[in-house]
Structure 1
Amino acid sequence: MRKQFVAYIMGGPNFIESLKLLDSEGADYVEIGVPFSDPVADGPIIKKAGEKAIQARMTLEKILEQLKIHQKEIKAKTIIMTYAHMIEAYGEAAFMQALDEADVYGLIIPDMPFEYTEQLKARYPQRHVKIISLIAMTAHEARMKQIAEQAEGFIYTVTMNQTTGQNAQFHPELKAKIKAIQQYTSIPVMAGFGIRDETQVTDIVSVADGVIIGSEIVRRLDEDGIEATRPFLKNMRKVLNETDA
């Protein structure tokens, strides 16, 4: 099975260029963060990028409109990452319709508990967008099973009990937890939070079906620009290809 590359970018004024870069370098999914003033899951790098995007007057509406215009140019599956308040402010029904109109593949809402996510799914049974579940390392076995059995698209397994982009070790039970989750679902189980180099990627995809890389990509795009970030992305895809089962 091809190991999956999930890349995160912030929805800043030039996010379409970054999206096209990631697509050209073999990202299977691209997660686009909607800038929000009070993010709960984002570490300092992504939070800073979000603040810059807000200053540039980027909004959820602008991101979805740009995706609607350019989506047919992109092979990678696009995912919107946003918070419950943003959806409420946009209008839930209008938001779900806009996702489908923009041909968005997935939606991640990190501050929405499982029970509320299931209610959201039930309210929109005809939607095309997949509502992607996160599973934390603190989740008990019964909770992991419950989430995994109802999951759509892929499962986002959080590798550590911190915010994104932190310099920390993977949770000691991470691999065992991923294997347990895989027993309860037929969809891919991805690992994300804190993954930034090929050693980590090689290690985690010995078990996981793919990796999610966010802060490192956001940092490189901000500090180095599009073309200077390309070799890093190319290398990540190469590492994943070499570890394909």
Structure 2
Amino acid sequence: MRKQFVTYIMGNMDFIDNLKTLEHAGADFVEIGVPFSDPVADGPVIMAAGQRAIQQGMTAQRILETLTAHKETIQVKYLLMTYMHTIESYGEAAFIRDAEAAGVYGLIIPDMPAEYIAELKARYPERQLKLISLIAMTADTERIQTIARQAEGFIYTVTMNQVTGQNGEFHPELRKKLGLIQRNSDVPVFTGFGIRTAEQVQQLATIADGIIIGSEIVKRFESDTQAETVQYLSGIRQTLDTVE
């Protein structure tokens, strides 16, 4: 399997156009952020983008309705990154039903611990929607093994002990823990947080099955020209394709 390019966009008024830009640039997955007033995992870039999306009137319902209307024209796999409050306010069963109807591949819920993810899976055994597991570098070996063995779709590993989009060093045990996760899982293991340059992509793609870029993409969609954004995305795709 080629190294996977996992991307993130905010669910704003332009998200379908941005999603298709990512698809054409070679993304394998697109995470769509459902705007939320009090996010816990989002850094300043994504948090500000979420506030603007809220001001535009974007909601979970509007995102799902838009995806449903466009799903036949989209080939790339897309997921929703959201929070427990949003799902509970929408109605848990209704959210899962409407997400599946909209063609959503999976859900990433940063504030839902693994134990709650397991309970959610048990409540909806017939669902097609993947519930994506996150693993922090601070997790101990036993917890990593438990989460990895229960994972579906792919595993989202966090490169550093910070919110998204922050500068800083990747966790010193990242390579070791990625290896542990891969040995205990039957699904691909991707890594994200703080990744923005081709050099970082080259480094991390040698030890992970794919990389996740969020804040940098959100920032470029807002500040760069379309051509500049496509050039950046294509460069990341090309870098990934050079890694065995």
Whole-angstrom CA distance in 1 between matches of 2:161 and 2:196? 17
> For 1:178-217, what aligned pairs fall within 5 Å after superposition?
178-217=178-217
2:29 aligns with: 29
- Mark the runs of 5 or more structure 2 residues left unpaired by the alignment: none
1:6 aligns with: 6
Pairwise CA distance, 1:186? 1.6
Matched residue SS, 2:12? coil
- Cα offsets for 1:35-86 (capped at 9, x unmatched): 0000000000000000000010100001011111111211111000000000
- Cα offsets for 1:101-153 (capped at 9, x unmatched): 01110100000011111110111111111000000000000000000000010
Q: State the one-letter code of the partner of 2:179.
A: K
Matched residue SS, 2:167? coil
Whole-angstrom CA distance in 2 between matches of 1:226 and 1:118? 41
1:129 aligns with: 129
Tell me the number of residue pairs that the alignment of Structure 1 and Structure 2 aligns. 244
Residue range with higher mean Cα deviation, 134-143 or 71-80: 71-80
Whole-angstrom CA distance in 2 between matches of 1:226 and 1:33? 20
Q: State the one-letter code of the partner of 1:79.
A: L
Matched residue SS, 1:148? helix
Pairwise CA distance, 1:228? 2.5
Whole-angstrom CA distance in 2 between matches of 1:52 and 1:104? 23
1:154 aligns with: 154
Pairwise CA distance, 1:225? 4.0
1:19 aligns with 2:19: yes
Whole-angstrom CA distance in 2 between matches of 1:104 and 1:3? 22
1:164 aligns with: 164
1:174 aligns with: 174
Pairwise CA distance, 1:230? 0.5
Matched residue SS, 2:6? strand
- TM-score normalised by structure 1 residue count: 0.98
Matched residue SS, 1:128? coil
1:95 aligns with: 95
Whole-angstrom CA distance in 1 between matches of 2:29 and 2:140? 28
- Mark the runs of 5 or more structure 1 residues left unpaired by the alignment: none
2:70 aligns with: 70
Q: State the one-letter code of the partner of 2:222.
A: D
What percent identity do the matched residue pairs reach? Answer: 58
2:228 aligns with: 228
- TM-score normalised by structure 2 residue count: 0.99
Matched residue SS, 2:32? strand
Whole-angstrom CA distance in 2 between matches of 1:72 and 1:201? 31
1:12–1:58: 8 Å Cα contact kept in structure 2?
Answer: yes
Residue range with higher mean Cα deviation, 227-236 or 151-160: 227-236
2:218 aligns with: 218
Whole-angstrom CA distance in 2 between matches of 1:177 and 1:111? 21
Whole-angstrom CA distance in 2 between matches of 1:88 and 1:77? 24
- CA RMSD of the aligned region, Å? 0.7
